């Protein structure tokens, strides 16, 4: 793990739990796509740069989650590279407390202010057409977060960030973090029709055919929506619903999972309400959700 994998003439990635993409923009110059989960991942990126004799010009973050921006600060301090993020993701990258604050819905307690949910802040700029090097194209991939993006390189490699979970992950956990369920389904519909020589998802194996995995992610997302809807045959509070979800999927709740899955279930509720398949009422000062 953490070795450099070449997938095309100018496209590479560091094989690790959150893949870091490398794209050569010149003989000895590169940009990277994401920076790993923490300072240690950043150090491993730096070792690759040094071993290849490459100069790092810029980091392009696909989104603001800590496991994708955790190496930003170290790499920028070591190389002076620029960091680019998209739209609202820039705010979270510069003010990382926003991530656990959003998940918690208030001031995040100590157990949420850690490197898993809150990377070191980094100075970044918003991605614009002028900010992209020749040969790198941005691809909108919203749904997992506010305005996540991927990138296509000139040698026809597509870096897909977190818009897909691996089949093993879905079979084990069934439900993964989502911000906007409808936007996520729309993104998957676009992704499943994409063509490229190589697709590199952040949390799944590289492949030349992304359609089967995209379709499986669509299937699991719709199944989760139906499962949540079925639980709401009896009106219940969010906490009661979360207990049913965790029990139904055989998961054990802890603080971090409560925040991540709790936020995701809220997004599913918004999705179902938008489809007029669920609604809420207030009874005895309790907010109750029910299916329609």
In a shared domain, residues 154 and 228: no
Q: pLDDT (tens digit, 9 = 90+) per residue, 25-36?
A: 999 999 999 999
Count of domains in the chain? 2
Domain that holds residue 64: 4-162
**Does a structural domain hold residue 150?**
yes
- Mean pLDDT throughout 109-119? 95
Q: pLDDT (tens digit, 9 = 90+) per residue, 185-195?
A: 999 999 999 99
In a shared domain, residues 148 and 244: no
In a shared domain, residues 16 and 88: yes
- Phi/psi class of residue 150: alpha, beta or left (left: φ > 0; alpha: ψ in -120 to 50)? beta
Report residue 15 as tokens: 């094989």
Question: What pLDDT is recorded for position 199?
Answer: 98
CB neighbour class for 53 (10 Å; exposed up to 12, middle 13-18, buried from 19): exposed
Q: pLDDT (tens digit, 9 = 90+) per residue, 220-249?
A: 999 999 999 999 999 999 999 999 999 999
In a shared domain, residues 248 and 137: no
**Does a structural domain hold residue 219?**
no
In a shared domain, residues 35 and 150: yes
In a shared domain, residues 145 and 233: no
Q: pLDDT (tens digit, 9 = 90+) per residue, 58-92?
A: 999 999 999 999 999 999 999 999 999 999 999 99
pLDDT band at 128 (very low <50, low <70, confident <90, very high): confident
CA–CA distance from 12 to each of 20, 34, 140, 211, 265 (Å)?
Answer: 8, 13, 21, 22, 35
- Phi/psi class of residue 107: alpha, beta or left (left: φ > 0; alpha: ψ in -120 to 50)? beta
In a shared domain, residues 247 and 102: no
Question: What pLDDT is recorded for position 129?
Answer: 82
Domain boundary among 135, 162, 189: 162
- Phi/psi class of residue 80: alpha, beta or left (left: φ > 0; alpha: ψ in -120 to 50)? left
In a shared domain, residues 147 and 231: no
What percentage of the chain reaches a pLDDT higher than 70? Answer: 100
> How far is the C-alpha of 142 from the C-alpha of 201, rounded, in Å?
15
In a shared domain, residues 44 and 133: yes
What percentage of the chain reaches a pLDDT higher than 90? Answer: 98
Helix pair 255-274, 238-248: axis angle to 10 deg: 110
In a shared domain, residues 28 and 155: yes
What CATH number does the domain containing 20 carry?
A: 3.60.15.10
What CATH number does the domain containing 268 carry?
A: 1.10.10
In a shared domain, residues 155 and 283: no
In a shared domain, residues 34 and 152: yes
> How far is the C-alpha of 55 from the C-alpha of 81, rounded, in Å?
9
């Amino acid at each position: 793990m953490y070795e450099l994998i070449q997938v095309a003439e100018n496209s590479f990635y560091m094989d690790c739990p959150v893949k870091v993409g490398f794209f050569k923009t010149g003989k000895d110059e590169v940009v990277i796509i994401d920076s790993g989960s923490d300072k240690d991942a950043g150090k491993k990126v730096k070792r690759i740069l040094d071993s290849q004799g490459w100069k790092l010009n810029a980091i392009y973050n696909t989104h603001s989650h800590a496991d994708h921006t955790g190496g930003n600060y170290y790499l920028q301090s070591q190389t002076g590279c620029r960091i680019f993020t998209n739209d609202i993701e820039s705010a979270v990258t510069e003010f990382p407390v926003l991530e656990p604050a959003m998940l918690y819905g208030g001031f995040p307690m100590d157990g949420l202010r850690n490197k898993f949910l809150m990377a070191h802040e980094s100075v970044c700029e918003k991605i614009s057409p002028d900010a992209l090097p020749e040969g790198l194209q941005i691809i909108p991939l919203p749904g997992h977060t506010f305005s996540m993006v991927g990138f296509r390189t000139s040698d026809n490699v597509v870096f897909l960030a977190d818009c897909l979970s691996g089949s093993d992950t879905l079979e084990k956990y069934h439900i993964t973090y989502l911000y906007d369920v409808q936007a996520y389904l729309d993104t998957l519909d676009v992704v499943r029709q994409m063509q490229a020589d190589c697709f590199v998802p952040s949390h799944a194996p590289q492949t030349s055919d992304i359609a089967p995995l995209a379709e499986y992610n669509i299937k699991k997302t719709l199944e989760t929506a139906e499962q949540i809807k079925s639980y709401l045959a009896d009106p219940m509070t969010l906490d009661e619903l979360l207990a049913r979800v965790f029990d139904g999927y055989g998961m054990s709740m802890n603080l971090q999972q409560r925040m991540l899955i709790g936020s995701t279930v809220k997004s599913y509720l918004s999705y179902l309400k938008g489809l007029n398949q669920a609604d809420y009422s207030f009874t005895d000062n309790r907010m109750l959700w029910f299916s329609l």
